[in-house]
């Protein structure tokens, strides 16, 4: 599946698990992202539901961010009280120390820019 007319451009992961693939919630599951990317050749963006919603409301939003990006999520919906600049400040050292792969972040940036270019 490639993004464009008549295709799915974005998949949003909610607060559910799909036990057939993994016991983890979808946004925390590298297996889920792998199934989308390789299993059905999904090339669009993967997005979380709100970082402060459901089970994530009880979690540290900074850890949620790092985990979601590390497993392959491209966009994170953030309607919480945490300013986006603080989330990015938290992510930078994790990329620098290799906790979150720089290639992973660049891959997401390319997907976001590709979708944006197709809608301008």
Q: Is 91 inside a domain boundary?
A: yes
Inter-residue contact 82 to 57 (CB < 8 Å)? no
pTM of the predicted model as reported, rounded to 2 decimal places: 0.79
Q: Is 19 inside a domain boundary?
A: yes
Gap between the Cα atoms of 93 and 28, Å rounded: 20
Q: Is 1 inside a domain boundary?
A: no
Determine the structural domain holding residue 22 and report its residue range.
Answer: 10-118
Q: Is 89 inside a domain boundary?
A: yes
Q: Is 5 inside a domain boundary?
A: no
Q: Is 69 inside a domain boundary?
A: yes
Rg of the Cα trace of the chain? 14
In degrees and rounded to multiples of 5, residue 33 shows phi and psi of -65, -40
The number of domains in the chain is 1
Q: Is 3 inside a domain boundary?
A: no
Q: Is 113 inside a domain boundary?
A: yes
Other beta carbons within 10 angstroms of residue 30's beta carbon come to 13
**Tens-digit pLDDT profile for the chain (120 aa)?**
444 445 788 999 888 888 998 888 888 888 999 998 898 889 899 998 887 776 666 778 888 888 889 899 999 888 877 888 998 899 999 999 998 999 999 999 999 998 888 876
């Amino acid at each position: 599946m490639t993004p464009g007319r008549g295709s799915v451009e974005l998949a949003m992961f909610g607060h559910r698990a799909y036990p057939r693939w993994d016991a983890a919630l979808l946004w925390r599951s590298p297996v889920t992202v792998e199934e989308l990317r390789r299993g059905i050749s999904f090339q669009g963006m993967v997005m979380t539901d709100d970082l402060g919603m459901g089970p994530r409301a009880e979690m540290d939003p900074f850890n949620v961010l790092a985990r979601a990006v590390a497993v392959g999520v491209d966009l994170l919906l953030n309607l919480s009280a945490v300013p986006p600049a603080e989330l990015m400040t938290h992510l930078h050292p994790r990329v620098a120390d290799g906790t979150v792969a720089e290639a992973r972040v660049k891959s997401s940036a390319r997907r976001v820019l590709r979708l944006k270019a197709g809608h301008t």
